[in-house]
Structure 1
């Protein structure tokens, strides 16, 4: 993995976040505006990144094996991260419900909203595709184990799994199926998804900047005292364990590099929505998302640099 490439991509994304802060400080951004950005990123730009990855990748048996491996690895990775974070939360003395919430914020990273565009930028279309598969594994864990932890004693319902049916997952299924059937996409569709995929990273980073500016305007620079826990576990402990374990796994180089980058992602964006719905601590989630995103601009290049000594 080229550390300079990673550092450049992260620096550019940091500048985009700063532009989002600047825009939000000059213009009143409504809730509807933010919802529009989320819809465009998740339902248009990210699916385009995935389809662009499929269209520009030779879907061979080797790639299909990589897809299967990274999906299973993602589920195991996130379940292990939840288990470890829950143990550390209890050791830290957090009470039951609060420990579960800190576990969610610490264990699950933003592999979709930030991870897919970032991997597409660093590793090309195939990297974006593999990141999307990794994110699909995360979604499965979020809407099963994640919701179970957040609901504090409520019964799990199969209807919760309908959230797994989304456009990024549909893009993965349609894209790989069409490639497997050797269906050649028309030139218009190729150019369309290539252009739309370029929206993912800029809009996602602008949205992060807008969230950050509104959070700071509302709360100042005050943070909740326990924020050290999700930041330390998410940005340092989990990537460190990932780097320690990966040398023992027989993974393709690209798959390994994608997992390394995604292991250092900040707290997942959907946490703000889930905390708003199932808890009374939405600001806790937004604060963790914002500060972990800012700090990840430093920690991700450090993780990539540390990986050069192992691989």
Structure 2
């Protein structure tokens, strides 16, 4: 019997992730979707409706009520709290179902994920696993995302582990599915990853800028770095200089994928996690100043799903 799946948050990343779910789930099953942006839901139906039944719902509660598996992808802590803990329309208001699997893919704070997970479990609404992702919009489109799952398998083949693995493999690369341990551990790994990666983008942009200002051809400079110790994922996948990597955002008019506002948010979450365990995260504090400045620049403005305040640097 085909089981229905729910997806909450049909934004940039969520749109493509949910699209891959609809492509790969049982054709006879229904994909239940919800987003505060009803136009995004209609666009999704127009794009993927030919692949199988898609039902647009009016709340997270309804998605959970109709689904055996719920996947969510929202921007910030306050959105995740509303999705899961809002008393009338959140997942917590859905009927109890111990067999419901809830995969929360958003990048939110560790404390918020633990609070939501504990309350959902205590209310009998299902098993909540923090499953944040890495790979950006391109990875979401190609179904090659990395997943960091806050769950510790009993064995490699226990039922829940296999269920999580099978579902996230629709959206990610099978070799990039990581089981990180207890509730919240997936987000710890994700925040460490983004703290390093986003700080690295700032360093790469500044380094490339002063090299070019000294008169070095950008292609030669890139080749020198690629063959040396300064190389990183950023130099290809997030190359800040236009005209070097054809597929990089900089070579495509700096088209917004992961916005500076979200970058500032993720750096802030990383700083919070670092400070909670006594780490002086001074590199991240410097990077946050620059991401916050970029987020306030009108040239980076894009339409976002609701209010998205720019985090301020506390240093």
TM range (shorter): under 0.3
TM-score with structure 1 setting the length: 0.26
| More helix by percentage | 1
Task: Give the strand-richer structure, 1 or 2.
Answer: 2
Rg: which structure is higher?
A: 2
Q: TM-score, normalised by structure 2?
A: 0.26
